Amino acid sequence: MIARALILASALFACSASAQGYQPYPYPPPPAPGYPPPGYPQGPGTYPPGPVLAIPVLEQDLRVKAGSDTVRFGRDSYVLTPQSQATLTAQAQWLIQHPYVNASIEGHADVRQTRDYALALGERRAASVRNYLIASGVPPEQLQIVSWGRERPTSDGVHDATWLQNSRVVTVLKQPPQQLQPWMPEPQPQPQPQQ
């Protein structure tokens, strides 16, 4: 049922996206000045949706509504603190309200883990977050997990004193795959949004 709704939604999206001159996933447009145009549907209550908002805008919305897109961990730990659980509960509500957006749960480990273990630990943390979100009512097919290991330290975590800041899981929003897209155009120069 949900899958069918998603297909319908993406079909609608595909039509309206090309009409609006947007680049569909996987070439999301970088935010341009004055983007998104005012008057586009925002937030819940517009499902099935019109044009999907740009991912950076949605991520900003998630950060505001849920408090953060990131939960942090102690070294070697994959246990969700009460604070993390509160953040994830809010993230889950947001995801339930935005069923046409997928989330990639990206796990990271600190740069002082050995490389293989860091990848495994990032995956374990991401799985722990995903399981919490599913338990909070988010449909499993809306979520995927990936581990970056220690390959992507945050700007907060590059210093020696703050390397533990890299032990984190970030909820990164993605547009669902374009299931009905028969043909994917080549990347084009960025079209300016119509005013």
Partner 1 sequence: MRFKSSFLTLTFSAALATSAQAQSGQSQIVLAVPQFPTPKNVKTDGGETGVIGIQIAQQIVSDLRTTRAIYPTGPDGLRHYTPTEAGAPLYPNWAGIGAGALVTGYVQARDDGRINVVCYLYDLKTRREMTRKGFAVDANDWKRAAHRCAGAFYTAVTKRPGLFDSRITYVAATGTRTQPVKRIAIMNWDGTDHNYLTQGGVTVTSPRLSPDGEHVVYMSFAGGMPNLRIMDADGSNDRQLLQSTSMSFAPRFSPDGRSIAFSMAVDGNTDIYVVDSNGGFPRRLTTAPGIDTSPSFSPDGRQIAFESDRSGTQQIYVMNSDGSIQHRISFGGGSNSSPVWSPDGDRIAFARWTGANIAIGVMSPAGGDEKMLTSGWQDEAPSWSPDSEWVMFQRTKQGTGTGSLQMVSIGGGEPKAVATPQPAADPSWSGVVE
Which residues of this protein are in contact with partner 1, per CB under 8 A?
A: 76, 78, 104, 111-112, 114-117, 119-121, 123-124, 127-128, 131, 146-149, 151-155, 158, 160
Q: Which residue has the tokens 């929003």?
A: 173
Q: Which is nearer to partner 1, 49 or 139 (CB)?
A: 139
Q: In the complex, what is the shortest distance from the CB of residue 129 to partner 1, in angstroms, rounded to a whole number? A: 10
Q: Which is nearer to partner 1, 47 or 75 (CB)?
A: 75
Q: In the complex, what is the shortest distance from the CB of residue 161 to partner 1, in angstroms, rounded to a whole number? A: 11
Distances from the Cα of 150 to the Cα of 35, 73, 87, 169, 174, angstroms: 33, 14, 23, 12, 22
Q: Whole-angstrom Cα distance, residue 119 to residue 162?
A: 20
- Cβ atoms of 88 and 133 closer than 8 Å: yes
Q: In the complex, what is the shortest distance from the CB of residue 131 to partner 1, in angstroms, rounded to a whole number? A: 8
Does the bond joining 187 to the residue before it have cis omega, within 30 degrees of 0? no
Q: Which is nearer to partner 1, 92 or 143 (CB)?
A: 143
**In a 10 Å sphere around its CB, with 0-12 CB exposed, 13-18 middle and 19+ buried, how is residue 103 labelled?**
buried
Does the bond joining 36 to the residue before it have cis omega, within 30 degrees of 0? yes
Task: Enumerate residues 6+ apart whose C-beta is below 8 A from 155.
Answer: none
- Cβ atoms of 176 and 100 closer than 8 Å: yes
Q: In the complex, what is the shortest distance from the CB of residue 28 to partner 1, in angstroms, rounded to a whole number? A: 14
Q: In the complex, what is the shortest distance from the CB of residue 126 to partner 1, in angstroms, rounded to a whole number? A: 8
Q: Which is nearer to partner 1, 18 or 114 (CB)?
A: 114
Q: Which is nearer to partner 1, 76 or 141 (CB)?
A: 76
